[in-house]
Structure 1
Amino acid sequence: MYFKPLSFLFCLFSITLFVNATSNTSDHHPAVSKDQRYIVQLKPTTDIENFIPNLLKGIFDLIGDVIDDIGDFLEDATHLDDSKKLAKRTNPVQVFDSFDIDGSFKALSTRIEKDSLLGSMLSHFDEIVGIIPDEVIKFDLPKPQSLRRRYYMRHTPDNVYAEGKLVKNSSSAQESSTKNATNPHTLQQKNAPWNLARITQRKPDPKAPYVYPESSGEGVRIYVIDDGVNKDHKDFDGRVSWGFSAIGNDSTTQIGGGHGTHVSGIIGGQEYGVAKNVTIVSVQVLKKNGEGSVSSLLSGVQWVVKDAKKHAKKSIVNMSLGIPSIAPSADTLDQAITAAAKGGLPIIVASGNSASDACEVVPAGNPNVYTVAASDKTDTLDPRSCYGKCVAITAPGVNVESDYIGGNNATATMSGTSMAAPHVTGIAALILQDLDDPSPKSLFAALTSFATKNVIKENRPHTVNLLAFNKVDEPKKSNQTTTTTKKQPKKKSDSKKKSSSNKKSSSKD
């Protein structure tokens, strides 16, 4: 099919006039994207493969039959390449990709060249439930340059990238660990970082060893949705892989800006980690400067959900990131997180660092995730930590040393709820395989029941007073058993969002 240039331009002019006219009668006014990129959210019942050609044809029904032989045009526009990606374009709508998160969340990544089409599309297509800008979100991640702000990286006068700073240069923390005399199935890491010692003691003792089970999370797969990971860092001992990147596939890009590496080190580093044998999978959705689009986050979550199905009931997600719930994209992201969580994925998230209500942060305010606030060495709630009824637990998050970029032994000291969440993710990895029911609900209940109560100082109103605890070396009680059993929760008058309805007793206590 061929178009005469003048005739085709006239068609486009007619399209513009018609669309502008139809938009004036629409009651829907979605936010406008500066770069014309949008996420078109669909009903979960939508058959995406059938909907896309109907969408493209319907656009021309909206603006009038101005192009002959539309069937040939649509056949070219909706062609799928070998990788099954939707990449061909029609004017004025182009479909780039589709999202289907466990059948509960469906959407399209699109380019819509005419802002005036947005309201008409919402009115015309029953399958469309929302259209939002596929905006680039700037996440406020710790970084070395921001030394003046309390929330950002702190380090000693020594060069933070200097080789040999790690482990007083040992090959691994486990080589320097010893058997625990009171429990032969556990190990002790002497001279452990304060934050590790704290989660294994009921009372603060910075000189205490870090006690952890011999298995130390072996067989558990942790997905770190972040800005990348320095996977070749010696502290990881080859247990980190690059699973997915929405940013780029070259090695320099996938290492990221250091935030994801620091988080991963707390989860599973041999020197700085809680669960020293876990497998960590980097899911890169942010650039090293902390920027990421809505479609990047959706594609990352979708990839995790699909990959985790290959490792049933052995997977946990850590998300040390968040955006205000008033952001245009917040509700869409929140629904995607809900779909992933309800599909059986335990998701542990940072509460946020804005000293505000965590319920006003996504995903921290999502009732299906486990939200973590931050405390310091004195068990005082970090004044910048988000708080409130959406917080499930608190963990060390101030002046925490962990792995970093810039070398295979590089470390950094950083502060924030980004550092608190991976402590809880690590503890979750230690106990996941011991649970008879490894569902998110059961795992979260165990984390809550293990926690040390009423030790957080300067806690905020409506915030649980619970400090993360791994319960590895605690003496057995007479009513403990070797299995996890469900018990009816006791009635309480508090306003905690996440109460513990399951209690777990471990044979490794």
Structure 2
Amino acid sequence: NGAEILETRAGVQTLADKYIVVMNDGMSDKDFDSHRSWVNRTHRRRLIRRGAKAMGGMKYTYNFPTGLKGYSGHFDEQMIKEISKRADVKYIERDARVQINAIEQQDNVPSWGLARVGSQEPGGTTYYYDSTAGEGTTAYIIDTGTDIQHEEFDGGRATWGENFVDDMDMDCNGHGTHVSGTVGGRTFGVAKKSNIVAVKVLDCNGSGSNSGVIMGMQWATEDAQSKGADTSVVNMSHRVAFSQTSNDAAKAIAEGGVLLALSSGQDNVDVAEASPASELSICTFAASTEQDGKADFSNFGQVVDVYAAVDGITSDKPGGGSQVQSGTSKASP
């Protein structure tokens, strides 16, 4: 019968002629290599002999330590039909647009989020935390990049990891630096002595692809496991409509012993319609108000694990200094 080409859900902004292919569970590395060689040969033949529309072919290869195997690329419809006939393919999904969650920004507004983390009741003005302050732990920020030279990271706690969206190893948007500062900045961070690793998957406009994000997830997982999964956390503060591949990648991170913290999204819908926030094995954060109510824009539902402060959160900005941002992106860090 062949592999299923998953139906695209409402609200998903797909990328033309771009697909993610996921292999059957338990596939060996040898068989995976053989399959990809077949894809490359078949794709080249189609371009040369059949006059097929020029496509880029395979781009990213996924091979998570805990078993998820697959790849993404630029293929025409006929090539996807050929791939779907293979008995070793589990499913195929259209690649989709991914976008950051921040919804507004204003300057010079005091932050209340840290005080809320350190208080049992709303209205607190002091942040209480353990003196270790996250020292020895590492947070992988899968986002728009991070200004690793920012003074809030004490000249070395923030490092550059990998880039899966462009050729600029910098945060030209500001979202990722703000998230990183909320996690580990000296002044605004929850874990003020933690290490930050920048994994860039979103461009200057805060936009990227699901396939690129999944590649960032794999890189972070492998790096975390090489350094000690039990002292690592992966943060993702962006949104994509439901994607089975994204959920499977998130599950692979959790099965590898790494905590994945994810914002729920801000479409005011059940989080079951968002990815990978709907994956049960990760920690999903929704947005709360200063009075501990649900923020009116926040996603919700039984899958949500924690509600956290998101409105008027002060943190770092590229080039130095600070700025205020709001949105569910601020909940998970």
User: For this structure pair, what is the TM-score category when the shorter chain's length is used for normalisation?
Assistant: 0.7 to 0.9
> For the residues of structure 1 that align with 2:3 and 2:148, how far apart are their CA atoms?
50
Does residue 201 of the first structure (1) align with residue 113 of the second (2)?
Answer: no
Secondary structure in structure 1 of the residue aligned to 2:262: strand
Deviations for 1:102-130, whole angstroms, at most 9, x for unmatched residues? 24211123332x4123223212x111222
What does residue 414 of structure 1 align with? 325
Is the CA contact 1:374–1:385 (under 8 Å) kept in the aligned structure 2? yes
Name the amino acid aligned to 2:117: I
Unaligned 5+ segments in structure 2 are 9-13
> For the residues of structure 1 that align with 2:64 and 2:17, how far apart are their CA atoms?
24
> For the residues of structure 2 that align with 1:334 and 1:345, how far apart are their CA atoms?
15
The alpha carbon displacement at 1:363 in A equals 1.4
Which of 245, 249, 256 lines up with 1:332 in the alignment?
Answer: 245
Is the CA contact 1:371–1:390 (under 8 Å) kept in the aligned structure 2? yes
> For the residues of structure 2 that align with 1:36 and 1:319, how far apart are their CA atoms?
26
Name the amino acid aligned to 2:295: D
Secondary structure in structure 2 of the residue aligned to 1:421: coil
Does residue 152 of the first structure (1) align with residue 104 of the second (2)?
Answer: yes
What does residue 102 of structure 1 align with? 65
Name the amino acid aligned to 1:288: C
Name the amino acid aligned to 1:236: F
Secondary structure in structure 1 of the residue aligned to 2:323: strand
Which of 209, 212, 224 lines up with 2:129 in the alignment?
Answer: 212
Does residue 130 of the first structure (1) align with residue 91 of the second (2)?
Answer: yes
What does residue 227 of structure 1 align with? 144
Is the CA contact 1:28–1:119 (under 8 Å) kept in the aligned structure 2? no
> For the residues of structure 2 that align with 1:280 and 1:60, how far apart are their CA atoms?
41
The alpha carbon displacement at 1:138 in A equals 4.2
Does residue 278 of the first structure (1) align with residue 194 of the second (2)?
Answer: yes
> For the residues of structure 1 that align with 2:39 and 2:112, how far apart are their CA atoms?
57
What does residue 258 of structure 2 align with? 345
The alpha carbon displacement at 1:93 in A equals 8.0
Is the CA contact 2:313–2:324 (under 8 Å) kept in the aligned structure 1? yes
> For the residues of structure 1 that align with 2:159 and 2:44, how far apart are their CA atoms?
45
Which of 92, 95, 99 lines up with 1:139 in the alignment?
Answer: 99
Matches within 5 A, 1:423-502: none
Q: Relative to structure 1, is the Cα distance of residues 45 and 255 closer, same or farther in structure 2, using a 3 angstrom cutoff?
A: same
What does residue 295 of structure 1 align with? 211
Is the CA contact 1:44–1:104 (under 8 Å) kept in the aligned structure 2? yes
Q: Relative to structure 1, is the Cα distance of residues 229 and 27 closer, same or farther in structure 2, using a 3 angstrom cutoff?
A: closer
> For the residues of structure 2 that align with 1:249 and 1:93, how far apart are their CA atoms?
18
The alpha carbon displacement at 1:26 in A equals 9.1
Deviations for 1:177-235, whole angstroms, at most 9, x for unmatched residues? xxxxxxxxxxxxxxx9422112112223443x222121100000000111111111111
Q: Relative to structure 1, is the Cα distance of residues 30 and 237 closer, same or farther in structure 2, using a 3 angstrom cutoff?
A: same
What does residue 307 of structure 2 align with? 394
Matches within 5 A, 1:14-29: none
Q: Give the total of aligned pairs.
A: 318
Q: Relative to structure 1, is the Cα distance of residues 104 and 156 closer, same or farther in structure 2, using a 3 angstrom cutoff?
A: same
Q: Relative to structure 1, is the Cα distance of residues 401 and 134 closer, same or farther in structure 2, using a 3 angstrom cutoff?
A: same
Normalized per residue, which structure has more strand? 2
The alpha carbon displacement at 1:294 in A equals 2.3
Does residue 53 of the first structure (1) align with residue 37 of the second (2)?
Answer: yes
Is the CA contact 1:44–1:103 (under 8 Å) kept in the aligned structure 2? no
The alpha carbon displacement at 1:37 in A equals 3.2
What does residue 297 of structure 2 align with? 384
Q: Relative to structure 1, is the Cα distance of residues 229 and 59 closer, same or farther in structure 2, using a 3 angstrom cutoff?
A: closer
The alpha carbon displacement at 1:339 in A equals 1.1
Deviations for 1:254-293, whole angstroms, at most 9, x for unmatched residues? 2231111111111111111111000010111111212111
> For the residues of structure 1 that align with 2:166 and 2:124, how far apart are their CA atoms?
41
Name the amino acid aligned to 1:107: G
> For the residues of structure 2 that align with 1:344 and 1:103, how far apart are their CA atoms?
10
Does residue 266 of the first structure (1) align with residue 182 of the second (2)?
Answer: yes
Secondary structure in structure 2 of the residue aligned to 1:288: coil
> For the residues of structure 2 that align with 1:133 and 1:369, how far apart are their CA atoms?
23
Q: Relative to structure 1, is the Cα distance of residues 258 and 26 closer, same or farther in structure 2, using a 3 angstrom cutoff?
A: same
Q: Which has the higher contact order (CA 8 A, sep 6+)?
A: 2
Name the amino acid aligned to 1:129: K
Is the CA contact 1:56–1:93 (under 8 Å) kept in the aligned structure 2? no
Secondary structure in structure 1 of the residue aligned to 2:59: strand
Q: Relative to structure 1, is the Cα distance of residues 92 and 140 closer, same or farther in structure 2, using a 3 angstrom cutoff?
A: closer
Does residue 354 of the first structure (1) align with residue 267 of the second (2)?
Answer: yes
Deviations for 1:123-142, whole angstroms, at most 9, x for unmatched residues? 2x11122233334x141432
Which of 118, 127, 143 lines up with 2:80 in the alignment?
Answer: 118
Name the amino acid aligned to 1:118: I
Secondary structure in structure 1 of the residue aligned to 2:106: coil
Q: Relative to structure 1, is the Cα distance of residues 155 and 34 closer, same or farther in structure 2, using a 3 angstrom cutoff?
A: closer
Q: Relative to structure 1, is the Cα distance of residues 31 and 110 closer, same or farther in structure 2, using a 3 angstrom cutoff?
A: farther
> For the residues of structure 2 that align with 1:282 and 1:262, how far apart are their CA atoms?
12
Name the amino acid aligned to 2:325: M
What does residue 18 of structure 2 align with? 37
Which of 284, 301, 318 lines up with 2:235 in the alignment?
Answer: 318
